Amino acid sequence: MGAPLSASAKNAVEPKQPKPEEKAKEKKWAMTGKRDPFFSPVVQQNGSGCSTGKKCLDIGAINLRGVVKSDVGFIAVVTNSLNKAYFLRENDPVFNGFVVKITGDSVVFRETIQDKLGKSFTREVVKRIFTPAV
**Residues 108, 98: Cα–Cα separation, whole Å:** 9
Higher-scoring residue by pLDDT: 32, 77? 77
pLDDT at 84 over 80: yes
The pLDDT of residue 18 = 59
Check pLDDT > 60 for residue 24.
no
pLDDT band at 36 (very low <50, low <70, confident <90, very high): confident
Per-residue pLDDT, 103: 92
Question: Residues for the chain: how many in total?
Answer: 134
CA dihedral 60, 50, 66, 127 (to 10 degrees): -20
In whole angstroms, give the CA distance from residue 95 to residue 28: 44
pLDDT in tens, 92-126: 999 989 999 999 889 999 999 888 888 899 999 99
Please tell me the predicted confidence (pLDDT) of residue 31. Answer: 66
Banded model confidence at residue 14, pLDDT cuts 50, 70, 90: low
Give 40's pLDDT tier (boundaries 50, 70, 90). confident
The per-residue pLDDT for 32 is 74
- The four Cα atoms 108, 100, 96, 131 give a dihedral, to 10 degrees, of -30
Domain 54-128 has CATH 1.10.530.10: no
